[in-house]
């Protein structure tokens, strides 16, 4: 028989000991050490073992906790530790046999019980350590959301953000210390928000209303959603690019020659498990990528440099978009380094790129198409068609031709010396052999303890 876990994660609410289950009470009563935030330790006033206040920042407490391995330890956490809580952090540092969890009702559950909203149809987000822009992709009239925020001072800032986006008519129900003797619930309208004395812990139930512009759910969002200086993959062409890239659960994108970053942003907006890295040689455009990612509350690392040199030692992708800087050397490098099965989409506008793509299409296959778009515009006293620059799109999956040097290359192989592009004199470093892991779902964040 295996030994009992040494660590018990106990979820507790604002009602303290009164709200704990029999099993949770027993775990606390027999623990040698009880760790937790000061407010949690204050809520549980019958602790016989040694108590330790969890340090700030949160990560500093992990080694302290692990130093007690083998003793009977309880960690107090808020509500359900595995819903926007600390549970997953502990689980990453321990094997399953070392711990077990005794959850309590989450703040979301208590808030939903108060508002009468069905939780499965309500957006739930932890924004205590994340920007309010995380809300932007979801905001639309009629949306119901329950969000956890850092403290009372953050609530009027949230109201101002909603008002700025045109959703000032939204109803905000501010809920403090839910489920405990200090519970206080007040409702107001975002644009006339005047509540100032808000105590921690706090969550806000939002019923979104107003004439703000929602972010469309489909790819090919309007160019106006992005900050750019004209260097942007235009909306219809962007939709075709995302269709060819075909984002799938947990995948990672390389956006080479990112420009405004619109391709990376739309990739990330396709699902919370997706990740991306943008590569851009110009500092001003690299800054625009960050601005556009921040606008939607997205995490998008931006690496300034010229490909392929800036790609060395970066996390391997599942898909690659080349929107600028396509060259013979870059294509050689990609085919020598990318794992087999990687999807590659290249857009070309210049004559030089248009001359290159048919050659690589003939050698590597895939689909090559030319995109010609025209838009109605004034022509004297009438209207006519104004043509945009034609775009050549090559989409292909990296497979080696039978009999080639790379026919039996492992899926995560690093670059072989014989695969080096002809014009590259110096040896390139090997790539990591693992792909990027998708973030925890839904919407990874710093934990609440």
Tell me which residue of 357, 290, 295 sits closest to 322, measured CA to CA.
Answer: 357
**What is the pLDDT at residue 404?**
45
Angle at CA of residue 267, ends 266 and 271, nearest 5°: 105
Give the C-alpha distances (Å, rounded to integers) separating 130 from 42, 135, 290, 435.
Answer: 27, 10, 16, 25
Could you tell me what percent of the chain has a pLDDT over 70? 88
Question: How remote is the C-alpha of 171 from its chain's centroid?
Answer: 27
Share the mean pLDDT of the chain.
89
pTM of this prediction exceeds 0.85: yes
Residues near 171 by Cβ (< 8 Å), separated by ≥ 6?
Answer: 187, 188, 189, 190, 206, 207, 209
3 state DSSP class of 186: strand
Strands across the sheet containing 252-256: 302-304, 275-280, 252-256, 319-322, 343-348, 391-397, 367-371
Produce one character per residue of 348-359: b if its CB has 16 or more CB atoms within 10 Å, e if not: bbeeebeebbee
pLDDT higher than threshold 70 for residue 176: yes
Token pair for residue 271?
Answer: 């699902």
Ordered domains of the chain (ranges, CATH) = 7-105 (3.40.1010.10), 109-207 (3.30.950.10), 223-419 (3.40.50.150)
pLDDT band at residue 128 under the 50/70/90 scheme:
confident
Tell me which residue of 85, 61, 84 sits closest to 10, measured CA to CA.
Answer: 85
Tens-place pLDDT, residues 393-449: 999 999 854 334 443 344 433 443 334 444 443 333 334 444 555 454 444 444 555
**What is the pLDDT at residue 432?**
46
Residue located via tokens 């932890």: 126
Tens-place pLDDT, residues 307-363: 999 999 999 999 999 998 899 999 999 999 999 999 999 999 999 999 999 999 999
**What is the pLDDT at residue 196?**
87
Token pair for residue 116?
Answer: 């009468």
Q: Residue 167, exposed/middle/buried by CB under 10 A (0-12, 13-18, 19+)?
A: buried
Tens-place pLDDT, residues 20-49: 999 999 999 999 999 999 999 999 988 999
**What is the pLDDT at residue 402?**
34
84 or 392, which is more confident: 392
| Mean pLDDT, residues 74-81 taken together | 95
| Mean pLDDT, residues 265-287 taken together | 96
The whole-angstrom separation of Cα 289 and Cα 285 is: 6
The whole-angstrom separation of Cα 114 and Cα 121 is: 15
| Mean pLDDT, residues 158-171 taken together | 98
Relative to beta strand 319-322, strand 343-348 is parallel
224 or 417, which is more confident: 224
């Amino acid at each position: 028989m295996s030994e009992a876990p040494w660590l018990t994660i106990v979820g507790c609410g604002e009602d303290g000991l009164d709200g704990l289950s029999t099993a949770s009470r027993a775990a606390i009563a027999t623990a040698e050490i009880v760790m937790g935030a000061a407010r949690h330790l204050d809520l549980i006033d019958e602790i016989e073992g040694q108590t330790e206040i969890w340090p700030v920042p949160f990560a500093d407490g992990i080694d302290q906790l692990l130093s007690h391995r083998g003793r009977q330890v309880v960690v107090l956490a808020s509500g359900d530790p595995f819903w926007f809580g600390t549970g997953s952090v502990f689980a990453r540092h321990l094997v399953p046999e070392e711990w077990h969890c005794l959850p309590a009702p989450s703040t979301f559950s208590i808030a939903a019980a108060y508002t009468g909203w069905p939780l499965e149809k309500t957006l739930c987000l932890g924004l205590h350590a994340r920007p309010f822009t995380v809300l932007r992709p979801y905001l639309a009239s009629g949306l119901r959301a329950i969000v956890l925020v850092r403290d009372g001072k953050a609530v009027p800032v949230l109201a101002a953000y909603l008002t700025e986006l045109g959703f000032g008519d939204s109803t905000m129900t501010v809920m403090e210390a839910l489920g405990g003797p200090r519970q206080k619930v007040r409702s107001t309208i975002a644009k006339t928000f005047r509540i100032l004395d808000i105590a921690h812990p706090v969550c806000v139930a939002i019923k979104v209303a107003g004439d703000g512009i929602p972010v469309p759910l489909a790819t090919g969002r309007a160019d106006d959603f992005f900050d750019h200086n004209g260097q942007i993959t235009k909306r219809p062409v962007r939709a075709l690019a995302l269709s060819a890239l075909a984002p799938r659960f947990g995948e990672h994108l390389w956006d080479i020659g990112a420009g405004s970053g619109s391709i990376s942003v739309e990739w990330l907006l396709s699902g919370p498990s997706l990740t991306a890295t943008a590569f851009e040689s110009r500092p001003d455009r690299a800054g625009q990528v960050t601005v556009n990612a921040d606008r939607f509350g997205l995490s998008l690392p931006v690496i300034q440099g010229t490909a392929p040199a800036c790609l060395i030692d970066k996390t391997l992708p599942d898909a690659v978009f080349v929107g600028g800087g396509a060259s013979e050397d870059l294509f050689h490098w990609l085919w020598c380094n990318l794992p087999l099965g990687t999807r590659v989409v290249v857009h070309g506008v210049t004559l030089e790129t248009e001359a290159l793509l048919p050659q690589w299409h003939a050698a590597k296959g895939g689909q090559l198409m030319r995109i010609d778009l025209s838009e109605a515009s004034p022509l004297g006293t009438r209207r006519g068609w104004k043509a945009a620059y034609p775009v050549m799109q090559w989409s292909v999956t990296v497979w080696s031709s039978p009999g080639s040097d790379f026919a039996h290359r492992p899926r995560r192989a690093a670059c072989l010396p014989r695969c080096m592009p002809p014009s590259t004199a110096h040896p390139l470093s090997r790539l990591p052999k693992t792909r990027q892991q998708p973030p925890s779902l839904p919407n990874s964040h710093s934990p609440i303890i």
